[in-house]
Structure 1
């Protein structure tokens, strides 16, 4: 059985190696029972100490370890939204952050269905209105959104994603960055999107959150 602490450290190293976590930006967490292990404030994802994580309750109360990342309210909100969530990834990845500065494609997804893998691995990704980093109100607004999603873009800030495992959360983060890069590369040119029927079939097959955006 894998160790959630070492899984988290390995995920941070991979995301940093892919260039998705510049400097000391970004934060990761995993849920273990009724507790959450999260990277401490100012942590470098390339060099996470598995034994130096902060420990929180599901309500966000600091229980042990160093001071947690100020983004812990976002992590707590995802764990409260869905009991199957076991990992949360927040990054300042370049292309996804750039897309967070643009108008959203629809009220429920900042990103359109450009590729099947985006629909399969990420699903609809709402744009949350700008708030200062660590803002608890933004996290509460996200927790109350009345439709399904496992990823969101924080306006002018970056992506946050949840998964039933750390591996799936990381996979979704990588896929979101890729589709964001494709969206920016297309620019103003008209692009062929997946049809509602095509996206809907993928969402049903892969149990991915995607509403009919017509």
Structure 2
């Protein structure tokens, strides 16, 4: 896929996420790895109203070289993509149900959502670390996100929202959507005797389909 095609796809998928309520206002940001750097949604931009020609471009050292200024959370994307060289994109949303889980779960927990469906395991994986609260835009969270990303393709920032990576931009958006739906299920079933997948069933899925983001 060319850079121009990637820009157009980022606009298309950003609008889709916005229109379906996965983000509101200027919340959320997306980064895509390129052969010669990265594309990132600009600071204070709405995922529903992106312009392909104004998307930020950064060089391989994460220096802004073209387009509007990048998201103030560029360090978050850098932390994930440097920890996961197999990942091609990162999506950070403030989606309601996943954020609610981030308000309920204790930081340090790595399974705040039970594996209720096979697609949660296939898209998100066995682990979903909860990162302790940091002020939005605080680069101090970079080291903790980097450490968590080495063993997980997705995580939840406490009281903030999910951060999801995948092999491609499309894969990453699918995973972010699956995480939100899984969080919705988990909240719906709180207090009930829900039947989660067993360890053997999870192992079987990961053996057959591989870990999320591996391709």
Q: Tell me whether the two structures share a fold, i.e. TM-score over 0.5.
A: yes
Q: TM-score, normalised by structure 2?
A: 0.91
Query: Residues 95-145 of structure 1: CA distance to partner in whole angstroms, max 9, x if unpaired?
Result: 110011112598323222111110011112111111011222212211123
Query: Where does residue 174 of structure 1 map in the other structure?
Result: 177
Deviates more, 1:3-12 or 1:146-155: 146-155
Partner of 1:80: 82
Structure 2: gaps of 5 or more residues: none
Question: 1:157 aligned to 2:144?
Answer: no
**Shift, 1:77, TM fit:** 1.1
Count of matched residue positions in the alignment of Structure 1 and Structure 2: 209
* 3-state SS in 2 of match to 1:199: helix
Query: Unaligned 5+ residue runs, structure 1?
Result: 210-214
Instruction: Rate the CA distance shift 1:146–1:21 in 2: closer, same or farther, 3 A.
Output: closer
**1:42 is matched with which residue: 41, 44, 60?**
44
Change in CA separation of 1:104 and 1:34 when aligned onto 2, cut-off 3 Å: farther
RMSD of aligned residue pairs (Cα, Å) = 1.8
Mapped partners of 1:208, 1:95: distance in 2: 24
The two structures have a TM-score, normalised by structure 1, of 0.91
Map residues 33-182 of structure 1 onto 2, 5 A cutoff.
33-104=35-106, 107-123=109-125, 124-145=127-148, 148-182=151-185
